[in-house]
């Protein structure tokens, strides 16, 4: 599904990624841990195509449909959940909102809420960020610190959703976090260390 070879990335003269290798298949649930500033978000931005690597290669099996929540979710702040999500669905020529509505309900949000996103709480925004990354059945899902700001009930909803998605081999999911997210059935765990992805023994 995805194969990264020897990815390098520096900002000015700071080397952040120094030869990262990673490969994952459909159904894999990959965890990449690492302390603040280790390059987790940088790596996901590169995989998502939002940042260019200085060196290395990246190969995807076709066709790839990437869903991503990296750092803070970004929305049209003065619009509602429905306006934001239906806009994103239309970009992918998808008209069926059923799954987005269902995901909102699972996360205790109302798809038809009249409130604009600007007035949402941090956790509410984060949940809409997770929903947009998975609502189109994207087959490569990149989630950066996804449970940040989520209450315990929402964390459980998240964990069950991701475990189910990957067990049905519908997607490859890559999650980065500096702490543990309890309950996720990772198929592999790595640590970003000195700019390299080191596999951890399970
Ligand atoms: N656009 C940029 N310009 C300059 N330096 C950057 C830029 N983006 C990231 N960096 C630097 O790259 C390093 C890695 O940053 P990154 O955001 O990838 O870390 P992280 O592992 O996601 O950290 P955190 O756990 O705090 O989110 C940091 O030292 C950061 O300052
Ligand atoms: Mg980060």
CA separation for the pair 72, 26 (Å, rounded) = 26
> Can you give the residue range of the structural domain that contains 123?
2-200
Query: What confidence score (pLDDT) does residue 150 get?
Result: 97
For all residues of the chain together, what is the average pLDDT? 96
8 Å CB contact between 195 and 16: yes
**Separation of CA 169 and ligand 1 centre (Å):** 31
Check pLDDT > 90 for residue 202: no
Q: Which candidate, 115, 91, 111, 93, places its Cα nearest to that of 103?
A: 111
Distance, CA of 51 to CA of 84 (rounded, Å)? 24
Q: So what's the pLDDT on residue 82?
A: 97
Q: How many domains does the chain have?
A: 1
9 lines ligand 1 (CB under 6 A): no
- Closest ligand (CA of 35): 1
Is pLDDT at 119 greater than 80 in this prediction?
yes
Give the confidence band of 134 by pLDDT, cuts at 50, 70, 90: very high
Q: What is the mean pLDDT of residues 21-49?
A: 97
User: pLDDT value at position 94?
Assistant: 85
Out of 13, 18, 39, 71, give the residue to mutate to test ligand 1, the one with the largest number of ligand atoms within 8 Å of its CB: 39
Ligand 1 atom closest to the Cα of residue 12 is 4
Q: DSSP character for 61?
A: P
Percent of the chain with pLDDT over 90: 93
pLDDT greater than 80 at residue 197: yes
What would the two tokens of residue 173 be? Answer: 């999911």
Q: What is the per-residue pLDDT across 135-165, written as a single tens digit (0 to 9) for each?
A: 999 999 999 999 999 999 999 999 999 999 9
The rounded distance, in Å, linking the Cα atoms of 46 and 175 is: 14
User: How confident is the model over 52-67, as pLDDT tens digits?
Assistant: 999 999 999 879 999 9
Question: Residue 177: which region, alpha, beta or left (left: phi > 0; alpha: psi -120 to 50)?
Answer: beta
Ligand 2 mean position to 106 CA, how many Å? 26
Query: Six-digit token pair at 114?
Result: 């009249």
Distance CA(57)–CA(21), nearest Å, equals 9
CA distance 103 to 161: 9
CATH number of the domain encompassing residue 60: 3.40.50.300
Average pLDDT over residues 38-45: 98
Residue 185 has pLDDT above 70, yes or no: yes
């Amino acid at each position: 599904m995805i194969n990264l070879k020897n990815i390098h990335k520096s900002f000015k003269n700071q080397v952040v990624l120094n030869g990262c290798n990673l490969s994952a298949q459909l159904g894999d649930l990959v965890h990449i841990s690492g302390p603040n500033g280790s390059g987790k978000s940088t790596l996901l931005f590169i995989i998502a195509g939002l940042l260019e690597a200085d060196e290395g290669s990246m190969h995807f099996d076709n066709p790839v449909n990437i869903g991503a929540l990296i750092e803070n979710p970004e929305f049209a702040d003065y619009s509602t959940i429905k306006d934001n999500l239906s806009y994103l669905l239309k970009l992918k020529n998808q008209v069926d909102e059923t799954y987005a509505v269902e995901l909102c309900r699972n996360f205790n949000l109302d798809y038809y809420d009249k409130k604009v996103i600007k007035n949402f709480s941090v956790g509410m925004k984060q949940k809409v960020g997770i929903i947009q990354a998975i609502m189109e059945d994207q087959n490569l899902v990149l989630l950066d610190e996804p449970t940040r700001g989520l209450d315990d009930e929402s964390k459980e909803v998240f964990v069950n959703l991701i475990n189910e998605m990957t067990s049905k081999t519908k997607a490859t999911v890559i999650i980065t976090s500096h702490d543990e997210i309890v309950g996720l059935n990772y198929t592999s765990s790595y640590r970003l260390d000195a700019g390299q992805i080191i596999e951890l023994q399970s």
